[in-house]
Structure 1
Amino acid sequence: MLQVKELCKYFGGIKAVDGCSFNVERGTITALIGPNGAGKTTAFNCISRTAQPTSGEVWLDGERIDQLRPHKITRRGLSRTFQISRNLADMTVLENVICQSQIGGWRDLLKPAMSPEEIDKAMHLLDFLGISRIAHEDGSNLSYGQKKLMDLAALLMSDPKIILLDEPAGGVNPTLLEEIVGHIRKLNEQGMTILIVEHNMNLIMRLSHRIVVMAQGRVIAEGTPAEIRENPAVLDAYLGGTLEDAA
């Protein structure tokens, strides 16, 4: 479904992503892991076009997308979250979620700021994620985990085919983390394809169908969780210990 071919992103003499190539199969949960500074988030930024690649190609369902603007990539079915919530200040959770609705064109300027259809859709997503009770709370007042769920609801407003999740477990308490894991599984069971960057190795090993490992901007290994756990190159990249110990 998603093909990344020889992707590069250079910052002067720093090669943050250097010839990175991997595929994401339709209907899978694929994890992108690696030590700090491996280039994972930069790769995410290039795939979603929030950063312009230096070179390389990104294909979605047989169409090249790396030369498109971010909103056009979203229209083609790829959406992503960020490590840090980007909620808009002084807006409620519901308003933050609806802000991510797809824009149909100039005629949308004549519609209400929040149409009944958008409100219904947003409330359905908030209910699915178990946070409809805070729909009218100020988004800036939420806990870190609640902001992660709000971001996920906003992501789903665009009806994506594939979602990129950047550290969904980061800073989340264990109880809420299990809820987030459950929601990711449910979305995948419903047919959603998911690419996830995460440092929580326990979560990755029990959630992913396939894992891609990056180090120094390159892909050094791919395989099932069991294969990655025993891969010498991966263990060496994580400073010689187990993946869990390194994380």
Structure 2
Amino acid sequence: MPRRPASGAKTQGAAYRLALFDREFLLSPAMRGVRLQVECTKADEALRAWGVRSTIVVFGGSRVRENGPGDQPRWYAEAREFGRIASERGGALHPVAGLRDHVIATGGGPGIMEAACRGAHDVGAPAIGFNIRLPQEQAPNPYTTPALTFQFHYFAIRKLHLAMRARALVVFPGGFGTLDELFELLTLRQTGRLGPVPIILVDEGYWRGLIRWESLEEAGMIAPGELALLRFVGDAAEAWQAIEAALPLHLSR
């Protein structure tokens, strides 16, 4: 009579392992779509649990320091002041029916991102950090709310969360990463894929010295009048005034 095959080897194999606990399978190219969905949903559920309905996104250089050279201390101070003003007057500090509006959201790292989150933290308001996993690990700044401090693997999902609740974009001086995020949302505004979100550039001298914006219209690369999608301001107070003027709701509480 033939011996019955032993089942031990079969139950130890990868095929028998529950898919949910099969790390090799979950990290395979075939499951990339699922990983994208999971990464998106995890942050979405946490934001819903906190009642975050809308955000004000703040971009700026990660290399800016509070006691850095040149204009860096001024930029840091203005970003911190903006985080404070927006949190006090925009609805993040005082939820209505469990919903928070205009919560400060950043990339979660140091520099301008830290300063804006610090301003929110100064008045006891939440601040969101959408961190990204990089070859040189980016540590979250100490002022983001722990339950709203995320780490993403996919830039696309991080950008989705930065854009999907944004009611305003405030951009302080920065480098390549800041420009990437600025033009990402500027293009969404230009193409009508993002609602009437004001895009505000703080420190007009820096931004006009960096790019001659009028050249785009003069060369026919953008439609006449599309430069009006950008608003240049000098400081945090002007940035907040521009947001109040642009949004349909009166924000001051």
Q: TM-score, normalised by structure 1?
A: 0.31
Q: Which has the higher strand share?
A: 1
The one of the two structures with greater contact order (alpha-carbon pairs below 8 A, sep at least 6) is 1
Q: Which has the higher helix share?
A: 2
Q: TM-score, normalised by structure 2?
A: 0.30
